[in-house]
Amino acid sequence: MQIRCLAVAMLVGLLSPMACAQTKDIDAAVDAERYSGLVRKLRPFAQAGDALAQFRLGWMHLHGVDGPANAGEAMHWYRKSAEQGNPDAQYNLGQMLALGQGVAKNETEALSWYRRAAAQGHAAAQFTLGAWHAFGRVLAKNESDALFWYRKAAEQGYAKAQYNLGLMLNNGQGVNRNAEEAVQWFRRAAEQGEPQGQSILGAMLEHGQGVARDYPEAVRWYRMAAEQGNANAQVNLGVLLSRGEGVEKDESEAVRWYREAAEQGSAAGMDNLGTCYLLGTGVGRDVEQAARWYEQAARLGHSRAQRNLARLLRYGNGVPEDAVQAYVWLHLSAAGSRPPQGVEIERDRVAQTLTPEQLAEGRRLASAWQLGQPMGRSAAAGTPGR
C-alpha cells in the first residue's frame, strides 16, 4: 500500500533520545497500518526541537496523513526543520514557496532553500537548480551551471537528472557534444523506468547515434516507454511496427499506437494516423477521417500534416475543394522549422491557379496565422477560423 510505504519512510530514523521511548509504539503502528494518532505522538518531539520530527510532522500535514491536509501547518514545521539544517525540509520548503502552497509565492526565497539543500547533497534540489539554470527561472540562464547541477544529481541516481544531463550532452549544451556519454546517461535513466529516458534511448538505438544501431533493442525500449504513455515512443514504435524493423510487421498494432499518441495530443501521431486512414493501412480506408486527423495536426503546427491536408483540399479529396485554403496550409508548411521536401514547389503551383485576389487573401490568412491571430476570412471564401 503506497501510503504505508510513505509512512514507513517518513518514520525511519526517528531515534533521537526524546523519541526512543515511543519508537516501538510508532513502529508497531506503522506495521499494523494504524496511522491514527501519529501526529499526536510526533508533536511533542517537534515542539521540543527535534528537526526530524518537525520534518515528518510537516510532511504529514501537507499530505493529510492522520488528519486533514493543512499547508500552513506544513509550512510552519518545514521551516522549523529547515532552519536546523534538515535538507529534506529545506527542499520541501523551497517547493512550497515556489508553488505558493500555504504561503505567498516567493521563488527568490525558494531558490535560497534549494541551494542550501543542494549543498548538502540533496539530489532533487540539485536537479531543480539545474533546471532553473537551464531555463533561466529566477537565475540568469547558464548552461554550464545547469550541467554542473544535473551531473551532481545524476551521479546520485536521480533519473530525471540523468535524462536531462543526457540531453545536454547530446545537444552540446554547455559542453562539447558527446553522444556516447549521452547514451550512457539515457540508459541509466531508462533502467530506472524513466519513460523519457526509455524513449530517447530507443531513438538513439534506432538511428545509431552514440551507440551501434539495434532495431530490436530500439523496439524494446520504445515499447516500455509507450506502455507508460510516452507519446513520442508510441509514434516511434508505430513506425517500426509499420515497417517491420526490429519486430514483425504489424500495421494494425501500429495504428493502435498512433491513435494512443494522437489522443493525447501528439501531432506526429495524428499525422501518421491520418496517413493510415488515407491509405487504408492497418485500418479501413476513410479519407474523411484522414482529413480530420491531418487538420488537427496541422493546427498544432505539424508541417507534414499541413502539406497533407493541403493536398486533400486542393483536389477535394474527403473535404470540399478549396485552392485558397490549400495554398494557406502549403505556405505555413513551407515556413515551418522542418518543411517537407518539395513543399515550396507545391505551394507555388497552387498559387499559379489562384486569381490575384485569392492569392492576396491566402497570404493574408497565412500571415495572420503566423502572428497568432484568428485565421478568419469572408464567409464567401469559406476557410474556417483557427
- Residue 25: the pLDDT is 63
Q: How many CB atoms lie within 10 A of CB 314?
A: 21
Is the per-residue pLDDT at 160 higher than 50? Answer: yes
**pLDDT tens digit string along 252-279?**
999 999 999 999 999 999 999 999 999 9
Is the per-residue pLDDT at 109 higher than 50? Answer: yes
- Residue 31: the pLDDT is 54
pLDDT-derived band at 28, boundaries 50, 70, 90 = low
The pLDDT of 198-213, averaged and rounded, is 98
**pLDDT tens digit string along 323-336?**
999 999 999 999 99
- Asked if 113 contacts 90 with a C-beta cutoff of 8 angstroms, the reply is yes
Is the per-residue pLDDT at 4 higher than 50? Answer: no
- Residue 14: the pLDDT is 36
Domain ranges for the chain: 1-88+110-117, 305-377
Is the per-residue pLDDT at 7 higher than 60? Answer: no
CA dihedral 71, 77, 78, 79 (to 10 degrees): 110
